[in-house]
Chains A and B, each alone.
Chain A
């Protein structure tokens, strides 16, 4: 797991205004669990290197790594991956990494996913892994908070993924048909759309630090057992 694999971009697809999916061919990469991430290393012509971690958007295919990268404005690596990288470009990948924020098809039981913004990426990998596992009948729910409808990654797919019930919550601008005014995640949203605490769902929360702090606190307030809530945060506070 600790060696670097040579990787080559094979496809890029737009995902949102400042985000895209990159598919990399990575000979020697032996697959991953849903929720895991990889380190990506870029090397400039003078040998300077930069490394960042990205969650996998899809798992289950050997020697293929699918990333969904959201641009961090002023960042060093994500603007390159979102705007510059193109098929044939080379980089390196190490992983998969992280053994806790993962869902395994044999885990069983209900799963509640709670996403803020691009935090949906590892949760989408879990929903996709569940849909791809013929033996799993675990009910999945996804509460996905996004700024506007244009920021909803994988919306069409996640709205029609088998076994998954998705609720989109908009913080700045909601679609015209929406009855919920735009705003931050509330306790009412959690009680209305998430599994009830007595279902005993495993809960995965991923997003920017402020979102995860707020969402995890609301879930605990709603009665969910803190020990069943797994979190992954990104960004500062």
Chain B
């Protein structure tokens, strides 16, 4: 039986595009982070991919700039229930980083400066569905929003799009990351409303 709330009218979304269940649209860009915003300097920044065998591949800022970047327009969905449509980013598809990585692993843990982690299936990072981004709305990505470099995986809840990205490690098993150990869903599909574990 539905529980109706007397006197509540609510506001219907203006957008004709559907929003995932339980989400509302905002023009704002709320910030959710577990601690202080780390200072990450592009002169010392590195991204490391480590395979399940321990083989490492590294990119510094110059190597990142040398990879082919593309513009990305995406709707983003935060588990705290805000969604934002038509956000514009610029970054390198994650596929580019995996071109020479040999692995039998099916799972990835993304690691951030500051200690944050989040887990994803490798397939969700490939085939042009995820990016390593450095610009937001035409400007260098602000530290507040994960700059200089963050992951962008717009088809999953935004906690999967790790800010201040510094590494991706490959795993044979799905290893829960920070929020996944703190009550949130292992996968996090907004359209299936996979919020909590």
Neighbouring A residues of B12 by C-beta, 8 Å: 48
- B residues less than 8 Å from A6 (CB atoms): 3
* B182:A100 contact, CB within 8 angstroms: yes
B16 CB–A CB distance under 8 Å: no
The CA-CA distance from A228 to B34 in the complex, in Å, is 10
Q: Which of A36-58 contact B (CB under 8 A)?
A: 39, 42-45, 47-53
B81 within 8 A of A: yes
- B121 touches A (CB below 8 Å): no
- Interface membership of chain B positions 14-58, coded 1 if the CB is closer than 8 angstroms to chain A and 0 otherwise: 000000001010101111111111100000000000000000000
The residues in A between 1 and 60 inclusive whose CB is less than 8 angstroms from any CB of B are 1-2, 6-7, 39, 42-45, 47-53
Known: A233-B31, A237-B31, A237-B144. A219 touches B36 (CB 8 A): yes
Number of interface residues of A (CB under 8 A): 46
A236 within 8 A of B: yes
Q: Are A50 and B10 in contact (CB under 8 A)?
A: yes
Q: Is the CB of A76 within 8 A of B10?
A: yes
Nearest CB on B from A13, distance (A):
19
Q: Chain A residues with Cβ under 8 A from B63's Cβ?
A: none
Contact at A100–B29, with CB atoms within 8 Å?
A: no
Q: Is B192 an interface residue (CB 8 A)?
A: no
Cβ contact within 8 Å between B2 and A47: yes
Residues of chain B within 8 A of A213, CB atoms compared: 31, 37, 144
Q: Considering the chains assembled together, what is the distance between the CA atoms of A220 and B39 in angstroms?
A: 11
Contacts A236-B31, A237-B31 given: A42-B8 contact, CB under 8 Å?
yes
A52 contacts B5, CB within 8 Å? no
Query: Do B6 and A90 have beta carbons less than 8 Å apart?
Result: yes
Contact with B along A115-143 (1 / 0, CB 8 A): 00000000000000000000000000000
CB neighbours of B68 from chain A (8 A): none
Question: Quick check: is B7 within 8 A (CB to CB) of the other chain?
Answer: yes
**Interchain CB contact under 8 A, B5 and A231:** no
Task: Please indicate which of the listed interface residues B7, B36, B37 has the most CB atoms of chain A within 10 Å of its own CB.
Answer: B36
Contact residues in B for A237 (Cβ distance below 8 Å): 28-31, 142, 144-145
Contact B183 A99 (CB under 8 A): yes
* Chain B residues bordering chain A, tally (CB within 8 A): 39
Is there an interface contact between A100 and B3, defined as CB atoms closer than 8 Å? no
Cα-based distance from A162 to B29 in the complex (angstroms): 39
Q: Of all chain A residues, which has the CB nearest B185?
A: A2
Considering the chains assembled together, what is the distance between the CA atoms of A76 and B23 in angstroms? Answer: 13
Q: Which residues of B contact A7 (CB under 8 A)?
A: 3
Q: Which of B33, B35, B181 contacts A227 (CB 8 A)?
A: B35
Smallest Cβ-Cβ distance to B145: which chain A residue: A237
- The answer to whether B36 and A76 have CB atoms under 8 Å apart is no
Q: Which residues 207-237 of A sit at the B interface, judged by CB distance below 8 A?
A: 209, 213, 216-217, 219-220, 226-227, 229-231, 233-237
Known A53-B81, A76-B24, A90-B3: A84·B37 in contact at CB below 8 Å: no
Task: Fill in one digit per residue for A98-109: 1 if any B CB lies within 8 Å of its CB, else 0.
Answer: 111100000000
For residue A219, which residues in chain B have a CB less than 8 angstroms away from its CB?
36
- CB pairs A–B below 8 angstroms (29 shown): A1-B196, A2-B195, A42-B10, A43-B3, A52-B81, A53-B80, A80-B8, A85-B7, A90-B3, A90-B5, A97-B196, A100-B178, A209-B30, A209-B31, A213-B37, A217-B36, A219-B36, A220-B36, A226-B114, A227-B35, A229-B36, A230-B34, A231-B35, A233-B30, A234-B30, A235-B28, A236-B29, A237-B30, A237-B31
- Closest 10 pairs (CB-CB, A-B): A236-B28, A216-B36, A99-B182, A42-B5, A44-B10, A42-B8, A209-B31, A76-B11, A48-B10, A84-B7
Interface residues of A (CB under 8 A from B): 1-2, 6-7, 39, 42-45, 47-53, 76, 80, 84-85, 88-92, 97-101, 209, 213, 216-217, 219-220, 226-227, 229-231, 233-237
